[in-house]
Amino acid sequence: MSFEHGTWLAMAALGLLGNLGLGDEPTSWSRFRGPNGSGVDVTAMLPLELGHESNLQWQHALPGKGASSPVNWNGQVFLTASTIEPNTSSPQEHHVICLDLEKGIEQWRYTSKALLPEQEIIREDHGYASQSPVVDETGVYAFFGKSGVIALDHEGKLRWQASVGTQLHGWGSATSPILYRDLVILNASVESESVIALDKASGKERWRRPGIRESWNTPIIASLADGSVEIILAMLRKVIALNPETGDILWECDTQINWYMCPGMLFDEGVVYAIGGRSGGGLAIKAGGRGDVTQSHVLWRLDKGTNVPTPLFHQGYLYFVHENLGIAYCVEGRSGQLVYEERIQPSPGQIYASPVLANDRIYILSRQGHCVVLAAQPSFEILARSAMPKDQGLFHASPAIVNNRILIRSDRMLYCIGSQP
């Protein structure tokens, strides 16, 4: 699946860095959904109408399909795609692409052969390049399911390649890698029912946590007030926290959500927020526990939810939108009280991309390229509507925010949108 966080303004810089995880910068969009998977950049100034021609700075046709999100490092944009040859349904090649942020010009492309046989059909057209890459000063790390993990330097040269399992699933594979110190950490629930940590320099396996079932979300890093760090993700009926150095389970909590989990977790000031499951639902969990914390650390539960897009957390409130019903929700983070539940009319259509937040605005993108902007406030207000160009495929990827620009990817094209000077 391509589905494929903080009271941001109130935080001092040190507190913000602690919540985001060691080494992350508050406005860096170097991984899926930006700083620690939050989907938030409070410093960015974005246009209201994303589809307006006057705001389009450039567009770039992609060499293959995909649902991964773009990421950024030092003026370079990285994303992935897979090529399917005519009269076939399986990927033949995987691509990691590097573009110049200012003009969208391709700087290099690394192409590798897909490990076959692959599944012939992936439901909902998510495709074979749904995992977003992650990048830092050491290079770019991309994950292609059973074809493995690829590490490249900033010039596009292969450093190493590693397998994390070869199992398949009808929904495909979509969890994105994250970096922690000298580790590349991957949720390989589809490939091997494991979370796996690879050495960032060599690709060798450092630890493995088995038993990860029906989990399509990218882990987050939770840095607690006492200096400890937890890797957190959700799976079938559980949220778990792992020791990032060893992979040992620190704590686990029963979500009471009896389905696979796609939306990512959010973390703010010691609290983990989990929303997801086809049946809907959510809960808030105090981090830092040990063992089974279901009875001791759950702060509240909620019977509202979304099955695909990851929520947002902003100034004490959770915001999320139901992927099929087009209903927007606002929930008070500390109490779990439902603040509003409003249907977006007219409906933008089915929503798989996770919303992003900038300048107190929530940007929502549907699969058909319809854009809705809501006010990031505890009262429902639609600020704008627009649409991406027609006949440009499906918009499954979550947008990225970089230097007052928003990068939006369809399965055919990458768009860079920003207010013209």
pLDDT for 371: 95
Residue 3 resides in a domain: no
The total number of structural domains in the chain stands at: 1
Query: Quick one: which H or E segment has residue 3?
Result: none
Report d(CA 94, CA 87) in Å as an integer: 18
pLDDT for 421: 56
Report d(CA 275, CA 306) in Å as an integer: 7
Residue 1 resides in a domain: no
Residue 2 resides in a domain: no
Write the single-letter amino acid at 404: N
Q: Cα torsion for 101, 396, 381, 345, to the nearest 10°?
A: 140
Residue 184 resides in a domain: yes
Domain encompassing residue 293: 8-417
**pLDDT per residue as tens digits for the range 374-413:** 999 999 999 999 999 876 789 999 999 999 999 999 999 9
Report d(CA 164, CA 58) in Å as an integer: 36
pLDDT for 14: 29
Report d(CA 306, CA 278) in Å as an integer: 7
Residue 411 resides in a domain: yes
Which residues in the chain land under pLDDT 70?
1-27, 87, 391, 420-421
Backbone angles phi, psi at 349, to 5 degrees: 105, 180
**pLDDT per residue as tens digits for the range 343-381:** 999 999 999 999 999 999 999 999 999 999 999 999 999
CATH number at residue 131: 2.130.10.10
Token pair for residue 291?
């063992």
Contact present, 388 and 371 (Cβ < 8 Å): yes
pLDDT for 278: 79
pLDDT for 280: 81
Look up the pTM and report it. 0.92
pLDDT for 420: 66
Residue 153 resides in a domain: yes
pLDDT for 20: 40
Residue 33 resides in a domain: yes
pLDDT for 58: 95
Residue 178 resides in a domain: yes
